[in-house]
Structures are given as structure tokens and as C-alpha cells.
Structure 1
């Protein structure tokens, strides 16, 4: 009898051990079995987050707590890819999630459905952090192209496409759907339940005001949608009714899974419900999409307002006198802070978050902002400082969250003032164009592949480590230069020159004439006595801070050809457009177009900035003088330089395409070059004497050696945390998560 009892006890112990092992194994395979503390609504739905009054709340320690979302937007691409190709792997997500958490961010926002590995990685990562998980704000992409083309949100095909996207998004989050393969869309079998880590839904994209206005006009008499959870006020517009329908459909599908989460639709300053008397462009203040017209019914999780708010766009942030009334912590008039205050006041009674904000660390600039908060032109240190300022202002003004744009740099992105120069456009993701600001909002840099191989610091030692196959010594024997080396990567052309005596920028200039295709300046006023049998497209100048830049041949200048010849916004002189004009002009980018009534409310001049400046500095991370924009440095006889591709006329270095001199006035054309020729010169500032070439004699430049390279299909890149990361990290630490 005792033996029988012992055998029974042992059997139960074995079963317990086996069950524990099985449970542990299943938990490892299905990590969402880890419990997340939740509340339960009166209807029995699980709740982790909800809205109450003007607060967003989280359920923790058996109670609801007021919560400030510290978020970051996460893109879907890597260098060499477009978002619809979904190249990011599970190990990438896991590495990034750890870095994002270390930053102090508590939630990632994605704009659309990602591949199954994203949700698998998120749940796996959170399994080991039960007390401090990384939450998800799931975006649902609207049929943007169809909406902008058809200008009617109520068309059956648009409604159906959006509803299907909602079905896929909800299924992807809760891990109970298989999405068929479709070009540009995530697909696969979604089996992991990330629902417990969801913070909220973010419906749609930035709305085209023309589409909103047209939808409202065409569908004036449309009745409110017969909704269950999300309804509209009587004064809601037709487009707002359509949005409520889509939000309600999301809620219904989630309710079927036994959960409720807060829901918002994407909005931006262009379609906010506030009037802006100082905004010159009619398009930017023509229609509103109002979150206060949409309310939750039998949806305890509630709704919130979500806006993309940048300090440089639209133009009223610089021009509207009604916003120049509020001062920031430093006592400065701050239009961004004033706008935040006005927007928050309008949305009294509901939570509001800024779900996109920030500035890029690009060399190029696309818009000018108040207090120097421009769209581009910032070193990494400046990017961090400005992002931190914006974060604090959002928190100070009583918002429920701030979601920074963005985590990683994305090369595929385009900008209005450089996109016409990137030809062929489908190759945009294959190279790094530092003039395109949209590619450099990240706190995680995606540098070109030689970023760590060649440190711009005036030391030649790293050049010795470059493989002979990846560099070329230019066989140009000219006085003043002992040797010249050239290499390249996806972002720059690199030059290393050893001189016969130290380069002193205060006394002399170092110049490199660059030729890529037939045409250009065979003579120039800047180099009197120089005569070439083949012309130069660009002139690289190193000197003091004001002198160091890349200039472009006047008849080759994309900027003046576009905004002068085509649009008539700049003066064009006939002698400047002639071949061999002898003129090199500064490399510029437009930052604001000329605006005149009736297209705008008031007149506004054309604005431009010099984009070809070359900055002396050091690119070694951690160095006291580190400058992410540094282009050149010298240490006595050695001079090294990296030149952004577009400044030399390249429209796509991966296929060796450069801008052509020819083309209609409404379209640019590119042509493939056989390579780059360079002519080096040293010019004494006081005497103007030129060393390096023989003056007064025709130089057979067309016979000189070229630097060329094979085309590349897939770029290399270097992933690295920017200095702005650490500055932003400190700012996040200064803001309480719970209020």
C-alpha cells in the first residue's frame, strides 16, 4: 500500500515536471503566453490603455495611471530597398528594440503592416521584459494613391481596399491571419499574438486637402455610418464620417478578439481645424479634418487626436504674426510652442499626441524654420538639441505623448527640391544623397560603406588599409602634388592628396577641377591663364571657412535651369547659359518657391540656400571635434576630402549617371559617364599665382586618366548610433512617464 502511494506520488511529480517542461517549451514557442496586466471592461473586454478626459491612461499595479507616451516611428526599409520590399530581418528588429529601449522610448509606431518577423521579434523581446515592455502603435495605411487620384473616399473600390487593409492589420497584430502575397505589401502567416503589447491604432496617412475638400463636396448628403463603437457629431463633414466608419470597423474587428485599444486617425497641420491667417499658401489652410467631431460609444478605450507637427512646415510657422506671442524656456518667441498651445486648447476634453516631429541631420535643406529649426542642414549634435527642445515643449503643453520621427535613416526617401535631380528615380535607394533631407531624420545612421574605413581627420594611415582594388592612384604629375589617391562609396567621392609642402588655407586655396562629360568650362575667370581642351562641370575649392565649397559650371547649374529657365523664378543671363561661359556659381537648393496671388494669399519671394559648402572637421565618432558634416581636413602635407556625389553632378553614382547638359525645359535627362577626370591646382591668395598646371598653354585634359568604377546593384552601409541619440536620451529621462 505504501509502495502504491509512493508510486502515485512519484507519478504526479513526473507529470508536474513534464507539464512544466511542456509549458516552458510552449511558452518559448509562443511567448505571448506571458501575462500582461489588464483591466476588464463592463462588457468583458481586456484593456491595457484607455483615454479618460484629456488623459491617456495605462493599467498598472491594479490601477489606472495617467501616461505620457515616449515613442518613436520605425520605418520599413534599409539601404538598397524600398519599404514594400520589407528587407528588415528578425535579428535587426531585436537589436533595434534593445537600442530603442535603452534610449528611453516606450513605444514604437509603424505606419503599416510589417512582415510576420516584426511581430515575432516584438513579442520575443517583450517576453524577457515583463515589467517594462516595448509597446506598439499600429498604423493602418490608407489607399493613398487611389485617394489622391480619384479624390473621392466613398468610391466602392477605395472603401473596400481600406477595409481589407484594416482586416489584415488587426489579424497581423493578433496573429490569426494569413495574408496573400501582393507587390508592395507585407504578407505571410501571422501566428504570434502581439495584441497584449498594443498601445493603440493609428488610422490612415496625411490627408491631401484637395481630396478631403472634393469628398466633402461630392458626398454632402451622405448619412452617418451606422456604427457600433465610433460615431460622429452632427456637424461632422462627409470625410470625417468616412473616417469614423473606418475607425469603427477597426474597433469591431478588435472587439471580436476580446480587446479594446484607443483609436486615432492620422492628421497633420495642413488639415488641422485651426485657421492660420499668416499662411500664404491657400492649399495649406483650405479644409480641416476635425477629431473632435468623432466620439467613442461603448468603447471604453476611447479615441485620441494624433498630429504630425514639424517646426518648419507649413510656412506660417515663420510668417504668421499671430503665433509670435509665446516664449519658450529660454525667453525666445517660439511659434512652435504657440501652435502647440493653440492646438491643445482646441482639443480640450480629449487626449492629443504629436505622433511625428523632428529635424534631420542632412547636409541639404528643404524648408527654413523659426529659431533655426530648419528642415535639414543640422549636424548630429544640433539635431539632438532641437529634437530635445521640441519634445520638452510637447510635454510642457500638456500633450499625452510625443513620437519622434524617426528611428533609422532611409535612403529611398525623396525631397521636393532634389527629387528631379535623382535620375533614374528607381535607383534612389541604392545610394546616399546627403542633399536629400528626408533620408536623414533617424537617430540610427545608415552611413555609406566607407564611413568607418576612411576617417576625415588629416591622417593618411587609414588610406593605407584600403584594398588596392578599391582605390586608384591618379597618374597626374603636377607641381605641388606628390601623389593623389581616389576611392568612393555609396555617398561620396574620396580624395587623398600628398603635397610637396604643407597646405595653409589662410594663404592659399587648393582646387580640383572635375570633368565627367563633354562640355563645361575650358577656361574660367577664377583660374586666369588656364586653358583646357575639355571643360569642367565642377570646381572644388578648399580654403578658409567662407571659401571652401563646390561650385558648378553656370550652364550646367541644375538649380538655375529649373527655377530660372523653366519656372522663371530666378533671373537668367544669356552669357551664363553658354558653353564655356567661364563662370562657376555656388551650388544652391531652393527652400521656398516664389508665391503670388491668386495662387496664394499674399506674395512671397523665392528663397534659396547654398548647399555646396565644404566643412573642415573630423568624422571620428567620439572625437571632441566630431562633425557629421565634415568634408575635409589637413595635417600638414596630407589633405583628404569627401565630396557628396550630387555636388559633382551625379544623378545616380551606382550606374555612373550624371546630369546631361541637354533636355527640354520641363524635364532633366541623365547620361552615363565613363568616369571622372580631375585637375589639381594650388593658388596663392595674395599673388593669384597658380601652381600645379602650366598657364598660357592648351592642356590636353581629355587625355588625362579617369577614375571609374563598376556599377553596383546592392549598396553596402554602416549602421551607427548618432550623437543626437544621446542628447535625446537625456531629454526623455527628464520627462516623467507617469503624470
Structure 2
């Protein structure tokens, strides 16, 4: 019995020793990170000097240029508050980010313990320079916007708690209880020595800032332990100084100092923009120069989110039309960077968000075609690389691209009203929603790479029977029609009885999803249908290949024409069976007139229904991420985004209804998709595959392509073309100091 007890004690002691060594490793290992001790006893790895950020390396301070990437907290099928990313995901991503040439990862909020464990583990094992962390601290954004008063005790207290939690998480010295939408667990990995700086707060709502300034006009002074206001500070800047000082006080408890900044954006920058159309976009300033260091050796820098397409003064302000790039083109982004840099004299300034999305849809237009969307992955990479080079050329301390991974849950102002139910956005990828597709790491629906749009039917033949459906159609000219779908697209493969020649003929595919629509149209010749079509796909020459929408179903016109009065509406087109199919469009700018704007601006819209011919095979040199169709011989392949077919949520079989007036829409549940194909002979100017004598043609008896609802998504990740393009820029940019 005594020997057994001894063995138990020995095992227990061994386990305790292993656990202790494992626990201490987090602290001992990273203590080897080279740092300098200040006169006041704090450790420093980074500091600000003049307009530069410096790193302590080889026992001296050297310039450090930030080449970073913003990392989100979600995966397809999830919202950020669900915190679905695992340690193995982080480790895999860190390797790819490192390979890209980035040296900093920025996160917006507290991630789960696995994130910090992965960062420490990755840096411990890798050779050469580590990946550094810029830790964001999320402000009570919703409360700030709702209450419009930053000084409210509930807001101040919530922000202070978030600051304490963030510092504890980074230094591995806190246990956070479970809370809906928040990270929780035991934080034991000390990532503090890998920190480059603290990024406090979120983009500030200008109305909230203005209201806070009015309510607390006398509260314009704060003399903190580490940071203080100037005699020019506003009430909101005073509050913000207190929050930044709170971060410094919390970090100092751990014996470290790191550079401080707060989140800012163009909307609340300290510059004047007389060419900005909307008053609210130049309503108030949050000025980084109104915060000063009282006692913080690591220093302080300014940071801004700067995109080339927002706000609209990037296109309209004459003050930005004076600078040209190396190609001799007027470059308003470069001009803005120069103005902003000049304002922040002797102070480091960094662009901590920039970039464009590789998306089908567009939400804003920018100078030099740098729009918010409508780009291929190749174009995304070229624009992002150009923006990063300009950030370096204008003397900034670095740039952090937005973003690392695609995030399906995101919404955009010009599609969000059409995505219903709203709480199911993460279950499908709406490629018309540009906000979902900023990533350098694509999150692709499950048929990507399985069904390549290239005019080759072999991948269809390899698919499992349950993954596709043959439509039993007896239509002259067509031998077979197959359909499939995934979380992003509806796919169709048609094999004709002859080789398709777009110079001699044109292909049409009518789509029916819900009762209503056009039962006749010029494209149908004299054929009438018993059930209407919601959308019409035409394939032929490049300029005529597109998808259009029935005029009374067109929810773009229904919203901005009938409800808002910003577009002309022909009453006859609003009737059922108008016979008119209209181009598919998205709004990129609303009609503006005084007093909301400085002068009248008409509504702006872009077409999104054009179907590009090409290949979606990412291994092909001619890969086009926006390709929609291809034909080779008899085989025609096509993919169409769900929303262009009228779907508001394919995962629950929800389509837009014809019902509903005003600014809100109703949905209907569809049984599936009916496809009516036909061919038009250009020489004869008539359909060659729809029987003229059968009137009306019975669309209602056509087979339905159907699928079950889904609650789980299938996807895979893949580096976009933009990754390798930005990789070259990141690797080439100097100065870049690597730590041994």
C-alpha cells in the first residue's frame, strides 16, 4: 500500500512538474526577445521617434516599416461573436502571412486564448523575424452611436473593462468568463513582447462626436499619468485621451511600454474637405495632435483607415486634383496621403486599413478605377499593391491591408435590404456584397475547383449523382442540361446538338422561381408562356452576354424609383407581364440635394448583370475570378450568383416577392428553379428551339431544380491571385528591419 501511494505521489509530482514547465515556457521563452529597459524600469521593443517607428535590435534602435494585414474573427457559416477560428487555423494562416512578407498582424478586438497561444508558439518555432501583433481594443460602438454621449458612465465603464480585458489577454494574465459575442477562457500565453502597439477604439460616428463635444464643452482637459490633452482638445478628444491613458496604465502593470494610437478614419480627420458633397462626412474632427505624451517612453502615433473611394470627396474635391502619380495620372489618394502627412508634423502616421475587394458587386466609385468592388482578384492585387507603394512613398510609418480572409457575414449598404432574412447572411456568399470579399485568402463555396467554368464537361461527369441534377427537357437544339449549386452560385451545363457559334446565334435561358414575371417578351419572338420569367440570361457576343430582370420584379428600381423617387419609373413597366427585362443594377451613390449636401448630385448606379466569358480554373493562366460562362464546341457552362436570380437567402429557399411596397421587402419560399432554354438564329431573327404553335408554352410543366435547405456550409480556403501580387510588393518595400 505504501509503494502504491509513493507511485501515485511520483506520478502526480511528474505531472505537476510538466505542467509547471509548460506554463513557465510561455513566459521564459519570450523573455529572450531582445528589448531595452528604460530608466524607469520598463521593457521596450518598439518606440516612436520623430515620424518613424523604431525597433530595438542588435542593441540599438533602428527604423521599422510596418507591412501588415488585418485579421478578422469569423469563418463562413459563423458570425464573429461565435469565435469559430481554431488554433490550427491561426497557425496555418500565420505561416501564409509570414510567407507573404507581412511583419504585423492587426486584430480589432480580443481573440480567444488560442490566438495568443498560436502567435507565441509560431514565433517560438520559426527562424528569423517574428510576426508582431497590433492589438485593437473595441469601443462600445453600438452604445456610442445609440446614446451619442461618450461620457455616460455605462459607456465609460464598459470601455475601461474592455481595456483591462484586452491588456490581460495579451499578457496572458486573465480568465474571461463566458459572455455572448465575446472571447472567453484562460489566457496564459504572454504575447506582450511580440506587441508593436495598442490600437484603441473603432471608427467614430461624427454625430456622436459632435454631440459629445456640445454636451461636455467644459470638459476639455485631462492630465493623465502617461497622456494629457492640449489646450486645443475637444470634449471627445479629452475622453479619448483618458481611454488611451487607461491603456497605458494597465500595460505598465506588466512592466512593458508599447506605442499607442487610436482608431481614426477620413470622416473624422482634422483636414477640411470643401469638395465633400455630404456635410456629415466633414462634420467634425478627432485630432491626434490634440493628445500629448506626458510620460510614455514608447511614444504615440496617428493611424487612419484610408480607402480610395470613400468619402466622395476623393472624386469631387478640386484640392485633391493637383497630384499626379508616376504614370502622369491625377491621383487623389496620393494627394490625400500627402496632405494628411503634412498635417502630422514630426509624428509617425500609419494607414491601418486600406484596400479594395475582389467582388462582383460595387458600392462606391473611386479615382483611377479604384472602386469599392467590381474587381477581379488580379485587379485587387494590383490596386492594393499600388496603394501600399504610395503609402511608403509618402513617408508613412507603414500600411496594414484590409483584410486577410473573406468574411461571408458582412453587409453592404446597397445589397443589405435585399438579403433576407438578415440573420442568415453567413450561410451563403453573396458576391454582389463587396464587403464580404476584401480578403487575400479567399473563402470559396464548395463547388469552386470542382466545377470549373471552362467549357469542359468532364468535371460534371465526375460529380456524384446527389451533387447534380439532369433536367428532363425536350427542347430542340439541346441534348442535355445539368444543374448544380453551392453556397455562392447556381451552375448550369448545356450540351447542344451542334457547336455553338456566337456570331451566328444567341443562347437564352429564362429563369422562373416564383409566380409572376414576364410571359411574353421580344426575346421570345411570338411565343407566349403560361408562367412568367423573373430573369433572363443571354449568352452570345461579349457585349451582349448578361442577365436581366423582369421590370416589375426589379427590386433596385422598386426601392430607389418607387420608394425613394430617385429613379424614373415607367408605370407600364411596373405591371405584371410587362414584357420588359431591365439591366441588373446596383446603387453606388444616392441622389443628394441641399440641405443634406452642398449641391445637387444625381443618383449613381452601375450594371452588375454582365456575364464575362472566361475560365474559373485557378490553375489556368487565363483565370478570371469574375468569369461567368464559357463554351467549347457543343458544351456551354455557366455560373450565376444567387442574388441575380432573385434569391434573398438560398439556404432557406427565400426569394424576393413581387409583394410589398415602400422601403421594405417581402420574401417568398420557392420550390426551386425552372429553366427555359432556347436558341435564336441571328440570320433568321427567330427562335429555333421553341415551338411557335404551342401557345402558351407550359413553363409550369418544366422540371424544377430543387435542393434542401442548409444550416451548415461547405467551403475551402485558397490564396487569391492578389496574394502573390501584394507579396512581391511587401517583400520589395524598404526599409524593412528583421529581428534575429
Q: Normalising by structure 1, report the TM-score.
A: 0.96
Q: 1:252 to 1:477 in 2, by over 3 A?
A: same
Q: 1:21, 1:581 → 2: CA distance?
A: 77
- The one of 640, 645, 658 aligned to 1:661: 658
In the other structure, the counterpart of 1:163 is: 160
Q: 2:31, 2:114 → 1: CA distance?
A: 19
Taking the TM superposition and a 5 Å limit, the aligned residue runs for 1:221-620 are: 221-620=218-617
User: How far did 1:620 drift?
Assistant: 1.1
In the other structure, the counterpart of 2:11 is: none
Note if contact 1:69-1:737 (Cα within 8 Å) is conserved in structure 2: no
In the other structure, the counterpart of 2:94 is: 97
Q: 1:30, 1:224 → 2: CA distance?
A: 39
User: How far did 1:27 drift?
Assistant: 6.4
In the other structure, the counterpart of 1:10 is: none
In the other structure, the counterpart of 1:151 is: 148
User: How far did 1:28 drift?
Assistant: 5.7
In the other structure, the counterpart of 2:124 is: 127
User: How far did 1:685 drift?
Assistant: 2.1
Encode CA deviations 1:333-361: one digit per residue, 9 max, x unaligned: 10000000000000011100000000000
Note if contact 2:26-2:189 (Cα within 8 Å) is conserved in structure 1: no
Q: 1:373, 1:384 → 2: CA distance?
A: 11
Q: 1:712, 1:172 → 2: CA distance?
A: 36
Note if contact 2:309-2:370 (Cα within 8 Å) is conserved in structure 1: yes
- The one of 706, 719, 722 aligned to 2:720: 722
Is 2:667 aligned against 1:670?
yes
Q: 1:264, 1:685 → 2: CA distance?
A: 64
In the other structure, the counterpart of 2:213 is: 216
User: How far did 1:691 drift?
Assistant: 2.0
Q: 2:674, 2:577 → 1: CA distance?
A: 17
In the other structure, the counterpart of 2:704 is: 706
Taking the TM superposition and a 5 Å limit, the aligned residue runs for 1:171-190 are: 171-190=168-187
- The one of 79, 82, 102 aligned to 1:82: 79
User: How far did 1:31 drift?
Assistant: 7.1
Q: 1:720, 1:452 → 2: CA distance?
A: 10
Q: 1:572 to 1:648 in 2, by over 3 A?
A: same
Q: 2:352, 2:683 → 1: CA distance?
A: 55
Q: Normalising by structure 2, report the TM-score.
A: 0.96
Note if contact 1:32-1:192 (Cα within 8 Å) is conserved in structure 2: no
User: How far did 1:692 drift?
Assistant: 2.0
In the other structure, the counterpart of 2:646 is: 649
User: How far did 1:622 drift?
Assistant: 2.8
Q: 1:33 to 1:317 in 2, by over 3 A?
A: closer
Is 2:631 aligned against 1:634?
yes
User: How far did 1:511 drift?
Assistant: 0.8
Q: 1:658 to 1:350 in 2, by over 3 A?
A: same
Encode CA deviations 1:288-313: one digit per residue, 9 max, x unaligned: 00000001111001110000000000
SS at 1:225's partner residue? coil
Taking the TM superposition and a 5 Å limit, the aligned residue runs for 1:673-684 are: 673-684=670-681
Encode CA deviations 1:175-200: one digit per residue, 9 max, x unaligned: 01011111111111111100010010
- Which ranges of structure 1 fall in alignment gaps of 5 or more residues? 1-19
Encode CA deviations 1:178-223: one digit per residue, 9 max, x unaligned: 1111111111111110001001000111100000000000010115
User: How far did 1:664 drift?
Assistant: 2.5
User: How far did 1:603 drift?
Assistant: 1.2
| Displacement over 6 Å in runs of 4+ | 20-24
In the other structure, the counterpart of 1:733 is: 731
Q: 1:356, 1:33 → 2: CA distance?
A: 29
Encode CA deviations 1:555-610: one digit per residue, 9 max, x unaligned: 00011000000110000011100000000000000011111111101111111110
Note if contact 2:223-2:229 (Cα within 8 Å) is conserved in structure 1: no
SS at 1:242's partner residue? helix
Encode CA deviations 1:468-507: one digit per residue, 9 max, x unaligned: 0111100011100001001100000000111000111122
Q: 2:253, 2:379 → 1: CA distance?
A: 47
User: How far did 1:24 drift?
Assistant: 7.4
Note if contact 1:31-1:124 (Cα within 8 Å) is conserved in structure 2: no
In the other structure, the counterpart of 2:6 is: none
Q: 2:279, 2:22 → 1: CA distance?
A: 61
Q: 1:171, 1:26 → 2: CA distance?
A: 16
Encode CA deviations 1:413-450: one digit per residue, 9 max, x unaligned: 00000000000010001001000000111100001110
Note if contact 2:359-2:432 (Cα within 8 Å) is conserved in structure 1: yes
Q: 2:47, 2:503 → 1: CA distance?
A: 63
Encode CA deviations 1:258-293: one digit per residue, 9 max, x unaligned: 000011010000000000111010010010000000
CA RMSD, 1 decimal: 1.6
SS at 2:705's partner residue? coil
Q: 1:377, 1:293 → 2: CA distance?
A: 39
Note if contact 2:224-2:294 (Cα within 8 Å) is conserved in structure 1: no
Q: Paired residues, what number?
A: 722
SS at 2:543's partner residue? coil
Q: 2:106, 2:670 → 1: CA distance?
A: 42
User: How far did 1:737 drift?
Assistant: 3.4
User: How far did 1:552 drift?
Assistant: 0.2
Q: Greater shift after overlay, 598-607 or 647-656?
A: 598-607
Encode CA deviations 1:500-527: one digit per residue, 9 max, x unaligned: 0011112211111000010000111222
Q: 1:482 to 1:22 in 2, by over 3 A?
A: closer
Q: 2:615, 2:128 → 1: CA distance?
A: 42
